[in-house]
Amino acid sequence: MPIIVEIANQQELLSLDESRLRDGIRAVLVDEGITNANISVAVVDDATIKEINAQFLQHDWATDVISFVLEQRKGFVEGEIIISAETAAASAGQFGWKADDELLLYAVHGALHLVGYDDQTPATRKTMRERERAYLAQFGLRPRYEDSPS
């Protein structure tokens, strides 16, 4: 099985560059040693991601991105990434770039979670931010966040 990234656009606020999101996710997976993957991505609104966040993580708020690993073994991952277009649109200006760039950041962030990175401690958050910067640089982007929660 090759790396398959399926995208479901379930919102109407932003138009999506699906191939760019796929490319960002694939870049992470390939570089992190994944040769076979089945990834589903849902781009949703804040109300939907808030509901998912409450149901699965017991957090009663909207967030930027949530990832779920369904299966993982050497060279393979199956997972889901849920991204909020509404949060991307609201946050993009704060970081000085387009909502499309913020969506790509969320896709990369979600893919990093799928391959085992986390951002729960200052040390792991620093490593994850470094990896995000490396992948976004492949798209000519440089994130301007300080250390916002994600």
CATH number at residue 77: 3.40.390.30
Q: Do β-strands 36-44 and 65-73 pair in parallel, antiparallel, or remain unpaired?
A: unpaired
Q: Is residue 127 part of a domain?
A: yes
pTM reported for the whole predicted model? 0.93
Query: Mind listing the pLDDT tens digit of every residue in the chain (150 residues)?
Result: 699 999 999 999 999 999 999 999 999 999 999 999 999 999 999 999 999 999 999 999 999 999 999 999 999 999 999 999 999 999 998 888 999 999 999 999 999 999 999 999 999 999 999 999 999 999 999 887 654 444
Q: Is residue 145 part of a domain?
A: no
The pLDDT assigned to 150 comes to 46
C-alpha to C-alpha distance for 76 and 72, rounded to whole angstroms: 6
Q: Is residue 84 part of a domain?
A: yes
Q: Is residue 148 part of a domain?
A: no
Between CA 149 and CA 96, with CA 5 as vertex, the angle to 5 degrees is 35
- In sequence order, the 6+-apart residues with CB closer than 8 A to the CB of 83 are 41, 42, 43, 44, 49, 64, 65, 103, 106, 107, 110
Q: Is residue 131 part of a domain?
A: yes
Mean pLDDT for all residues in the chain = 93
Q: Is residue 144 part of a domain?
A: no
Please give the residue range of the domain that contains residue 55. Answer: 3-137
Q: Is residue 142 part of a domain?
A: no
CB 65 within 8 Å of CB 105: no
Domains identified in the chain, total number: 1
